[in-house]
Structures are given as structure tokens and as C-alpha cells.
């Protein structure tokens, strides 16, 4: 046979076999199971099964929440970033939070997929809608809303008592912290999300509220958006008393703009596990306790009066 013809044939065969692989039949979620309508955080009506048996979480915070209310065994898919609790290790990974694999998601036959606006996957929702997979979006912007999410999830998964008792414990821990923290509040706190470029928290971040609950005040609480890139000039002028670093490879040190700040001069720079501080889930209360204890433990050595620009 002529080599060109052989080549064409081989290519055609390869393409055909690929096509054959991709049209393996996919069963859509069984129709006929009883459903009910609920509203998610975006106000969208979602038809969910009465009893959720197969769910996928596309956010580490949601995975942690679902485990916390005792429904982790019903997760059939999570993201590669979902590393807590230990039970997540054995669950199928459907890609990272940036680009989940839609084919894998469909193949896992979920009854419902959970998405958090925190992982910026709103666009992905459309793709799932087209596949007739129920999508539930959470959008927690404060500890109160995180707690509300826990209650909703408890309700969705048929674990309301478990959720209730968890909320009881968490609320008690928050109350305990706030009680102490409010005694001597007012530590001027800067949360550094990344060093270069300098990203911090703004008024829309749940961490702004968290700092306040811990007895401090975020010096960037007036800045627009949730995670703004901040001018270093402003950073230097803000002169925080305490700096918390969201601990990651490129965020181990305070930005050079802080070299003359009270926080650096007094050695009040702390690293906090990035997973705990960045996920709007139940472990945010751990972050709260950690921030509060750092603000508290050295309260006596707090900075001397600050004569410079005060705002």
C-alpha cells in the first residue's frame, strides 16, 4: 500500500477509536427519586433529591463542612486541594479548583455538585446545568454565613441534629474568644496574603470580621474588594502592630514595606496555616482562636505610642 494511504488509515482508525471511547453511555441521575426545591446562597432554586447519596464538592471549604456535619461518606468526588480531613484521601479527585474535569464529574454520577464562590467557579455552573446536574452554590462572607451554610448542609444531607450540635460547639468557642478579646481590643492587625506582589484582605473578606472577633482591627478593613493588591506606600503608612502571614512558600516574611512598622520592630509577626485561614469552613474557628491567642499572649508587650500618621 502507498505509505500516505497507510498513514491516513492509521489516523482515521485512531480517531475512530477515540470517538468510541468518548461515547461510552452515561447514565443521568435516576429520575423518579423524590426531590424538593431549595434556595442556594445566590438565590437560585435548586431541585435536590430528598436523600443525597452521591455528592461532589468543588471547594476545600465545602468538603470540610460536609465532613464536619457527618456526611463525608456521601462525597464521591472532591478537588485535589481538598486535603482535610484525612477521609478525603480516599475520595476520587476531579481536578483542582481552577479547572475541574467535567467528564470525570459526569462519570461519577453525582446527584448534586457543591460550589463555593470562594473558588471562583461560577462559570463552571453553566456546564453542569447543561448536564442536568443539580448545582448548589454557597457564598459565605462572614462567620455567621458560614454557620448558616453548615445548617443548610445539615438540612440537605439529612443531618440536622449533627449540624446543630456542631454549631453549638463552634458558637460557644467563638463566644469564648470574643469575651476575652473584647476586653482589650484595638490591636491594629495586617493580614498578608502574599508578599510579592503584596496582597491583603479588604472589606469584603470574612477575615476582616474574624480579626475583629479576635479583638483586633484590620488596618485594611476600608479597602475595596475581598483580596486587594495594596500599595506599599499605604502599607508602610498603616504601620500595623501585628502582622499575620497566610503561610505559604512565597509568604514566609513580612513585606519590606513593613520594615519600620511596630509589628516588625516588636517581633509581632506570625504565620498561620494558609488552609485554615483561607477556607471559609469550620476550621476558621481554629484560625480565630489562633489569632486571638497571638493578640492576647503578648498583650503586655504591646507597642509604645505611635506618633506617626494615625488613621
Partner 1 sequence: MIDRRILSWIVLVAALLLALALAAAIGSERLSFFDLTEQQAAILFDIRLPRVLLGACVGASLAVAGASLQALLRNPLAEPYLLGVSNGAALGTMIAFVFFEQFAFARPVMAFAGAGLATFTVYQMARSRAGMNVERLVLSGVIVTTFLSSIIVLLTSLLDAARLRGFTFWLLGDLSQATMNGFYMTLAASVIGTIVLTSQARPLNLMMIGERDAMDFGVEVSRVRLIVFGIASLLVGTAVAASGSVGYVGLIVPHLVRLALGSDNRHVIPFSAMAGAIFVVLADTVARTAIAPRELPVGAITALIGAPLFIYLLRKN
Residues within the interface to partner 1 (CB under 8 A): 81, 97-98, 193-194, 196-199, 220, 223-225, 228-234, 236-237, 239, 246, 248-251, 256-257, 259-260, 274, 308-309
Q: Are 296 and 182 in contact (CB under 8 A)?
A: no
* Residue 38 beta carbon to partner 1: minimum distance, rounded to whole angstroms: 30
Between residues 17 and 260, which has the closer beta carbon with respect to partner 1?
260
Distances in Å between the alpha carbon of 43 and those of 118, 139, 166, 205, 226? 16, 10, 25, 20, 21
* Residue 96 beta carbon to partner 1: minimum distance, rounded to whole angstroms: 8
Q: Are 83 and 135 in contact (CB under 8 A)?
A: no
* Residue 116 beta carbon to partner 1: minimum distance, rounded to whole angstroms: 14
d(CA 85, CA 200): 27
Q: Are 157 and 71 in contact (CB under 8 A)?
A: yes
Burial of 128 (C-beta count, 10 Å sphere; 0-12/13-18/19+): buried
d(CA 48, CA 161): 20
Between residues 75 and 223, which has the closer beta carbon with respect to partner 1?
223
Q: Which residue(s) pair with 247 in the sheet?
A: 273
Question: Shortest CA distance to 58 belongs to which of 86, 104, 96?
Answer: 96
Between residues 153 and 198, which has the closer beta carbon with respect to partner 1?
198
Between residues 111 and 251, which has the closer beta carbon with respect to partner 1?
251
Question: Shortest CA distance to 230 belongs to which of 210, 206, 205?
Answer: 205
Between residues 47 and 229, which has the closer beta carbon with respect to partner 1?
229
* Residue 236 beta carbon to partner 1: minimum distance, rounded to whole angstroms: 5
Between residues 17 and 98, which has the closer beta carbon with respect to partner 1?
98
3-state secondary structure of 245: strand
* Residue 248 beta carbon to partner 1: minimum distance, rounded to whole angstroms: 5
* Residue 31 beta carbon to partner 1: minimum distance, rounded to whole angstroms: 38
Amino acid at each position: 500500500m502507498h505509505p500516505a494511504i497507510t498513514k491516513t488509515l492509521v489516523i482515521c482508525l485512531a480517531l475512530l477509536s477515540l470517538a468510541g471511547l468518548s461515547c461510552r453511555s452515561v447514565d443521568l441521575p435516576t429520575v423518579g427519586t423524590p426531590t424538593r426545591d431549595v434556595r442556594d446562597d445566590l438565590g437560585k432554586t435548586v431541585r435536590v433529591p430528598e436523600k443525597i447519596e452521591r455528592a461532589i464538592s468543588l471547594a476545600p471549604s465545602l468538603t470540610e463542612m460536609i465532613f464536619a456535619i457527618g456526611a463525608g461518606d456521601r462525597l464521591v468526588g472532591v478537588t485535589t486541594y481538598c486535603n482535610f480531613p484525612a477521609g478525603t484521601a480516599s475520595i476520587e479527585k476531579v481536578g483542582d479548583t481552577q479547572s475541574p474535569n467535567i467528564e470525570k464529574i459526569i462519570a461519577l454520577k453525582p446527584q448534586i455538585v457543591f460550589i463555593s464562590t470562594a473558588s471562583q467557579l461560577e462559570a463552571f455552573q453553566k456546564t453542569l446545568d447543561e448536564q442536568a446536574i443539580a448545582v448548589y452554590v454557597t457564598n459565605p462572607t462572614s462567620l455567621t454565613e458560614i454557620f448558616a451554610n453548615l445548617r443548610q448542609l445539615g438540612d440537605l444531607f439529612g443531618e440536622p441534629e449533627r449540624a446543630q450540635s456542631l454549631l453549638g460547639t463552634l458558637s460557644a468557642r467563638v463566644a469564648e474568644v470574643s469575651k476575652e478579646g473584647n476586653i482589650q481590643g484595638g490591636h491594629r492587625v495586617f493580614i498578608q496574603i502574599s508578599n510579592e506582589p503584596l496582597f491583603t484582605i479588604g472589606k469584603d473578606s470574612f477575615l476582616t470580621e474574624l480579626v475583629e472577633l479576635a479583638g483586633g482591627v484590620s488596618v485594611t478593613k476600608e479597602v475595596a474588594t475581598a483580596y486587594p493588591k495594596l500599595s506599599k506606600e499605604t502599607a508602610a503608612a498603616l504601620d500595623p502592630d501585628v502582622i499575620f502571614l497566610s503561610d505559604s512558600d512565597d509568604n514566609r516574611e513580612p513585606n519590606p514595606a513593613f520594615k519600620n512598622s511596630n509589628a516588625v520592630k516588636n517581633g509581632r509577626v506570625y504565620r498561620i496555616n494558609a488552609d485554615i485561614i483561607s477556607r471559609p469552613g469550620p476550621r476558621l474557628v481554629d484560625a480565630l482562636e489562633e489569632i486571638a491567642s497571638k493578640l492576647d499572649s503578648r498583650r503586655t508587650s504591646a507597642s509604645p505610642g505611635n506618633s506617626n500618621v494615625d488613621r
